[in-house]
């Protein structure tokens, strides 16, 4: 495995875990001391309060303070992390959340030149969304993402492919990364 991709993955995990860390360590706004009012249990929908309306659980005569806003769940299906001998690394995913589906490609471009990326998300019944992203030269990780579209059918009916190429007349393809690509060596 490439150490840069491991670093990208670790950075992404840290960024994605911040809301969960806030829920674990966050203040227990409503129902302090009862162990059911906020924090991790309510963020995960495990408290008894998540099954009642706010009026049922409001303290009598006192103002109710809002707790942390619930974040919609986002599921992802990603292909393997790939790298090319030309200095491009990428991983492409299909994400589903809040009734919407979209494609995302995480990348790093160490080729020393600006590249073009085309991210295509294909869905059921021939639905296709495509976006073009400029990929700057440098060692910083980036991402290219399609617009979020209303989900149709099952999540397994979607796939995404990102293609990284030199932006000239020849358009030399440097790397193709897919959400359902087999891992290297899987055939």
7-16, 43-52, 87-96: least confidently modelled range = 43-52
Q: What pLDDT digit, counting tens, does each position of 19-52 carry?
A: 544 444 444 434 444 444 444 444 444 444 433 4
Confidence tier at 170 by pLDDT (50, 70, 90): confident
**Average pLDDT of the residues in 80-95:** 95
Instruction: Give the E-state strand segments of the chain in sequence order.
Output: 74-78, 82-83, 88-97, 100-109, 115-122, 128-135, 138-145, 149-150, 159-165, 173-178
């Amino acid at each position: 495995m490439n150490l840069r991709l491991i670093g990208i993955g670790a950075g992404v995990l840290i960024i994605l875990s911040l809301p969960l860390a806030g829920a674990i360590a966050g203040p227990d706004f409503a129902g302090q001391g009862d162990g059911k009012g906020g924090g991790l249990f309510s963020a995960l929908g495990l408290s008894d309060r998540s099954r009642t309306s706010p009026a049922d659980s409001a303290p009598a005569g006192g103002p109710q303070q809002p707790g942390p806003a619930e974040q919609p769940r986002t599921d992802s299906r990603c292909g393997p992390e790939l790298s090319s001998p030309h200095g491009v690394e990428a991983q492409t995913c299909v994400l589903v959340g809040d009734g919407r589906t979209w494609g995302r490609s995480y990348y790093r471009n160490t080729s020393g030149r600006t590249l073009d990326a085309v991210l295509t998300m294909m869905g059921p019944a021939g639905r296709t969304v495509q976006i073009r992203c400029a990929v700057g030269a440098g060692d910083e990780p980036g991402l290219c993402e399609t617009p979020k579209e209303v989900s149709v059918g099952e999540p397994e009916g979607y796939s995404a492919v990102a293609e990284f190429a030199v932006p000239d007349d020849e358009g030399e393809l440097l790397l193709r990364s897919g959400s359902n690509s087999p891992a290297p060596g899987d055939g």
